[in-house]
Amino acid sequence: MLLTIDLASDQPIYLQIRNGVVEGIANGKLKDGDMLPPVRMLASELGVNLHTVNKAYKMLKLGGFVKMVRNRGTVISLGGSGRDSKDFMEAATETLRNIVSEAITRSIGREQLIGIINRLYHETGGDRL
């Protein structure tokens, strides 16, 4: 699994792992039914504590991105419920509200923000939808 961790980042490692998996799903590198490496194996590959990977996997499960299958491990599962989507949209709206507010205080214009969103949408595989 191609996942890079920046140990110098302010972002916690478990979030980097979680976000890396979500980005892999978004850009098509990870597909429904793909297996994620076992917790111990990924922790060893990344040189991090296994509890860090476990926390990331739990977040992915809570977010509806993976499911834990007995005797198989952690599997990408894209069958999220409508409630999951509604919760996501509410959280995304709040996050974007904060980003827009900060951008306005820094005199960053609407078109520049939309340009950033369009670029990121394209870079992470949104054009495939």
Q: How far apart are CA 64 and CA 77, in angstroms?
A: 7
Nearest to 58 by CA among 121, 14, 8, 9: 14
pLDDT single digits (tens) 18-73? 999 999 999 899 999 999 999 999 999 999 999 999 999 999 998 889 999 998 89
Q: Per DSSP, what are the bridge partners of residue 76?
A: 66
Please, what are the domains in the chain? 13-76 (1.10.10.10), 82-128 (no CATH)
pLDDT for residue 87:
82
Answer yes or no: are the C-beta atoms of 75 and 66 closer than 8 Å.
yes
Quote the pTM value: 0.79
**Which tokens hold the place of 105?**
């205080």
